[in-house]
């Protein structure tokens, strides 16, 4: 059975739509796809930096292992999937995480011990829930086959992360069922 998802046959890796997409967006769809790639790169950078912080500050082995997975997986997603397509589309690499993500990092830097773990777990559950919706939505809406493929693969990775962090939240008695944590000030 022939593979229908062959990147070489469906991806705009050569000059097909890449040439016309390099530079300014040409349509609302193109703008949306470019915004998705840029936001995904920003979010990935944040996941890596938050993971590095958690590896240093967490006192729980399961949280440290999850944090190491975030550094590895989101680093690879950025380097292998997002950065190459961003370059093809003429999208500049973000200089770092978003202002919101930087604020979350600052908040975590001021915490330690169990308080750090609870806040990190809560952030990771909420971030992965939101990211999963964004990636699934983009996988449905994207017209560019490469963007569609990245969103689909990314949603699978994020789904796996969400399942893991939800199990960790349960093990640490962190209630993240859609309500704000009592630890928020």
H, E, C per residue of 35-93: HHHHHHHHHHHHHHHHHHHHHHHCCCHHHHHHHHHHHHHHHHHHHHHHHHHHHHHCCCC
What local confidence, expressed as pLDDT, does residue 29 receive? 81
Return the pLDDT at 38.
95
Q: How many Å apart are CA 131 and CA 111, to the nearest integer? A: 25
Q: Residue 117 in 3-state DSSP? A: helix
> What is the per-residue pLDDT for 21?
41
Burial class (CB in 10 A: 0-12, 13-18, 19+), 127: buried
- Give the largest CA-CA distance in the chain: 56
pLDDT score at 24: 53
pLDDT at 185 over 80: no
Which DSSP symbol is given to 94?
P
Residue 184 has pLDDT above 90, yes or no: no
Alpha carbon distance 60, 173 (integer Å): 13
Q: Which residue has the higher pLDDT, 17 or 23?
A: 23
Task: Give the pLDDT score at 26.
Answer: 66
Q: Residue 87: what pLDDT?
A: 95
Q: What is the pTM of this model?
A: 0.81
Q: In this structure, how many other beta carbons lie within 10 angstroms of the beta carbon of residue 75?
A: 16
Q: What is the mean pLDDT of residues 117-130?
A: 97
Return mean pLDDT, the chain. 85
- Percent of the chain residues past pLDDT 70, beyond the cut: 82
């Amino acid at each position: 059975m022939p593979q229908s998802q062959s990147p070489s046959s469906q991806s705009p890796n050569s000059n097909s739509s890449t040439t016309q997409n390099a530079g300014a967006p040409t349509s609302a769809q193109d703008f949306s796809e470019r915004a998705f790639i840029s936001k995904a790169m920003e979010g990935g950078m944040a996941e890596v930096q938050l993971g590095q912080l958690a590896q240093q500050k967490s006192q729980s082995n399961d949280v440290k292992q999850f944090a190491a997975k975030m550094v590895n997986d989101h680093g690879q997603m950025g380097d292998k999937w997002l950065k190459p397509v961003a370059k093809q589309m003429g999208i500049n690499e973000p200089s770092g995480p978003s202002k919101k993500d930087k604020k979350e990092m600052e908040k975590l830097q001021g915490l330690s011990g169990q308080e750090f773990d609870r806040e990190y777990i809560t952030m990771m559950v909420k971030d992965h829930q939101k990211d999963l919706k964004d990636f699934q939505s983009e996988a449905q809406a994207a017209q560019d086959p490469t963007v569609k493929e990245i969103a689909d693969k990314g949603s699978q990775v994020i789904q796996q992360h969400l399942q893991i962090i939800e199990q960790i939240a349960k093990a640490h008695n962190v209630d993240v069922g859609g309500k704000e944590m009592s630890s928020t000030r």
